[in-house]
Each structure stands twice: as C-alpha cells, then as structure tokens.
Amino acid sequence: MRNMLINGLNQTPIEKQKLEIVERKGLGHPDSICDAIMDQVSVRLSRAYLEKFGAIMHHNADKSLLVAGEIETIFGGGSVKKPMLLIFGDRATFEVDGISLPIKEMTIQTAKGWFKKNLRFVDPEKHVKYQVELQPGSSELTDIFKRKGMILGANDTSAAVGYAPMTRTENIVLETERYVNSNDFKKRFPESGEDVKVMGFRRGANLNITIAMAFVDRFVESERDYFRKKAELLEEIKRFVKEKVDFENVTVDLNTLDAKGRGIGGVYLTVLGTSADGADSGQVGRGNRVNGVIPLNRPVCSEAAAGKNPVSHVGKIYNLLTHKIANSIYEQVPGIEEVYIWLLSQIGKPIDQPAIAAAQVVMKSGNSFEHVQKEIEEVVDSELENIEKFCMDLAYGKIPIC
C-alpha cells in the first residue's frame, strides 16, 4: 500500500484570481541553453550506458555555467571578439568492470550538436569553448545503481509538486515564445534572434505581454531599419496573441528598453541571436519549470530537473511525474477545477514508494472531492506502478524538460 493523502483544497482557482504573472525564457536564453544541453548530455550518457552495460549508470549532469563571450555589434553585421565558455559538471560513471566510455568527448559532441541544430548563427567550433568538469560520483550514491531490483532507490530526500490544468495566461506565454522561435517565423523575420523572454501579466480580464527579443545585427542596416522591423514584428506578434486568447483587453510590448536617437546603444542587438554572445551568462535551474513556464502564482519544485539521471534522481523524476499525474487526474476524473500533486521521496527507498503521495483538488461548484477520492487514488497508484516506463521515456529524451 502506498502512502497517499487526498484532500479538497479551499482555494480560488488561479484562472479566477485577479492577479497572475507568468514568464518563459526562450530557446536561445542563456539559462535555457544550459538546461537543454545538460539534459541532452544525460540522454546521451543514458543511451551509451544502456548500450554498453545494459543499464543506466550513476550520473548527474545538472551543473552548468555558460559564460558570456564578447562581441562588437554593428549595423549590418558585427563580430565575435571572444567566444562563449560552456562549463559542464557534476558527476558521471566513466568505467564499469574495466570498460570505459569517452565521457568528455560525448559531452562536448552533444553540446555542439545542440548548438548546430537550435541556434542558426552560433558556430559550435568557433563561437564556444568547452570545459568538462564531470567527475566520478561518491561510493554510496554510485552503489544505488548496483543494487538488485527493477526499481532503484531514490538518491535524495526531495519533494516535488505539479499541477493541472495550465491557465490561459500560462498557455499563451508558452505558445507565444514557441511561435516566435518557430522555423516559419524565423524564415519570415530572420532578424529575430532565438533569445526571447516572454512575461505575461494578467489583471482581471486584461492581459499584458512584454517580450524581450534579441535582434541579429547582420539583418539590421541602421537605427531606422531596426525600429521599422521592430514595428513589423510587434504587429505580427499582436496578431498571433489576439487570435489565441479571449481576454477583454490585450496589450503587447516589445524591447521596451529601446530608445530612439541613441544608435547602437539604444537598440537590442546581438551578433549571434543570443545575449550569451556578449551580455548575459546562464546556469542550469534558473530557467523554466518542467512544464515550460515560470508560474509565479503556483507552488513549484526547487530542484533543477535538467541533466539529472532519469532512474533514481527524484529531483528529475518526481518533478516531471507530478505534472503527468496532475494532468491524468484532470483529464480522467470529472468535476475537478484544479489539481496539485505532491511527491516526497526518502533517500534509499524505492522511487515507486514515495514517503507521501498527496493530491489537493479544487472542485467545480456543486461537486465534492469525496465522490471522486477513490478515482484519484487509483490514478496516482497507476502512475506510480508504471514509473519504470516513465523513467525510460525520460532516459530516451521522449519527455521535454523545459
């Protein structure tokens, strides 16, 4: 029997509260770059371990720093004076029974592949340097992976929380960033860089979206050309947002730090489409939560999921699983307005047997959680029962983490 707690939550649903603030850091934001690359490193290592040893070995590649480079922006195209530096940490298994893997080489190859695929103007050979600081893990944590059983023990005492459904504000913030970083958008507006941050602020039925978007200087001929293209971009984003939402009033602002008449100093220009090329460094864990947004009105997990191993590190597994369970409950159990799922692990205990699995539900008017309590318990129990498959989906990168 799993230790469960199901109870009603006397709370005004976020959608009906007067204030909501939601943020998303886009594909080319320095923090998002770190999250995405380090999680791809974990996926690469997991696959290599499975192919070589038949099991995923101990690793946690969840520490990273992207040190900003140095550039000179010029209308018509600037230059990179100093490359970015990507530092990889934390722990990995380098050898099993005398058989070793080229961990450093695989890590760097993974990063280069990600840059090449996702950032149009970053040359991974010229614009980035790499420093691998992955080291062997501690004996006790490594030993978890040698113990018998299909379900491993948790490698930490940690808690996570997930929720469903996402609000209209959360969804439009997420969709807006994905739209402006889509292939079609970039083809039509090549001057728009991948480094985008979207901030959504809802006050009652009124929504304001503020966007910071790096422009690529090679596509901007002058200050006048910058503001002309910015106006075109803004109109297109406004059109997209207003077609997607039904708020009473919607306003969209773009690059509000800009100041006409100040030349290069008054516009948001980059050489490579990311502020990491010369202005802003990044770290794992400072970006989006695992459902793609930073929801300031919600309880969130303090763990960084990116790069943690997918079979024993509950900071990754529970972080994503809580959202999956919450969505399953919301979709399968009638009468629910909001649901929050909490999972707490105890180090060394099987990950399918959390110290507590709790569901807090906000019911729709006229419904009682007592009538659906059993159904909720069954959904939670089923998801935990199938945690091995969930972990394998994480290991193969089938579940996005940011």
- Out of 283, 302, 335, a domain closes at 283
25 domain-assigned:
no
CA dihedral sign, ordered 47, 399, 383, 60: positive
Residues 65 and 123 placed together within one structural domain of the fold: yes
Which of 233, 268, 283 terminates a domain? The answer is 283
- What lies within 8 Å, CB to CB, of 98 at 6+ separation is none
**Number of other CB atoms surrounding residue 223 within 10 Å:** 18
> How many domains is the chain built from?
3
| CA–CA gap between residue 260 and residue 2 (Å, rounded) | 62
Note whether residue 401 is domain-resident.
no
3-state secondary structure the chain: CCCEEEEECCCCCHHHCCEEEEEEECCCCHHHHHHHHHHHHHHHHHHHHHHHHCCCCCEEEEEEEEECCEEECCCCCCEEEECEEEEEEEEECCEECCEECCHHHHHHHHHHHHHHHHCCCCCCCCCEEEEECCECCCHHHHHHHHCCCCCCECCCCCEEEEEECCCHHHHHHHHHHHHHCCHHHHHHCCCEEEEEEEEEEEECCEEEEEEEEEEEHHHCCCHHHHHHHHHHHHHHHHHHHHHHCCCCEEEEEECCCCCCCCHHHHCCEECCCCHHHCCCCEECCCCCCCCCCEECCCCCCCCCCCCECCCCCHHHHHHHHHHHHHHHHHHHCCCEEEEEEEEECCCCCECCCCCEEEEEEEECCCCCHHHCHHHHHHHHHHHHHCHHHHHHHHHCCCCCCC
Query: Are residues 180 and 142 both part of a single domain?
Result: no
Structural domain contains residue 20: no
Res 148: pLDDT: 59
131 lies in some domain: yes
- 204 and 215 part of one domain: yes
How far, in Å, CA of 69 to CA of 82, rounded?
5
State residue 402's pLDDT score.
Answer: 79
Residues 41 and 113 in one domain: yes
Please tell me whether residues 137 and 238 are part of one structural domain.
Answer: no
Could you tell me the CATH number of the domain that includes residue 374? 3.30.300.280
Domain with 349, as residue range(s), is 4-13+157-167+287-395
- 309 in a domain, yes or no? yes
Verify cis geometry, omega within 30 degrees of 0, for the bond prior to 334.
no
The answer to whether residues 161 and 303 belong to one domain is yes
Q: Would 151 be classed as within a structural domain? A: no
* Per-position pLDDT tens, the chain of length 402: 799 999 999 999 999 999 999 999 999 999 999 999 999 999 999 999 999 999 999 999 999 999 999 999 999 999 999 999 999 999 999 999 899 999 999 999 999 999 999 999 999 999 999 999 999 876 556 666 766 566 888 989 999 999 999 999 999 999 999 999 999 999 999 999 999 999 999 999 999 999 999 999 999 999 999 999 999 999 999 999 999 999 999 999 999 999 999 999 999 999 999 999 999 999 999 999 999 999 999 999 889 999 999 999 999 999 999 999 999 999 999 999 999 999 999 999 999 999 999 999 999 999 988 999 999 999 999 999 999 999 999 999 999 887
Q: Could you tell me the CA-to-CA distances from 26 to 118, 171, 288, 388, 399 in Å, in that order?
A: 11, 14, 9, 31, 18
Is position 40 within any domain?
A: yes
Same domain, 278 and 174: yes
CB 338 within 8 A of CB 170: no
Residue 402 lies in a domain: no
Same domain, 308 and 360: yes
Is 200 in the same domain as 229?
Answer: yes
> pLDDT value at position 400?
87
Same domain, residue pair 50 and 94: yes
Domain boundary residue among 146, 179, 208?
A: 146
Same domain, 292 and 246: no
CATH of the domain at 82: 3.30.300.10
Residues 212 and 195 in one domain: yes
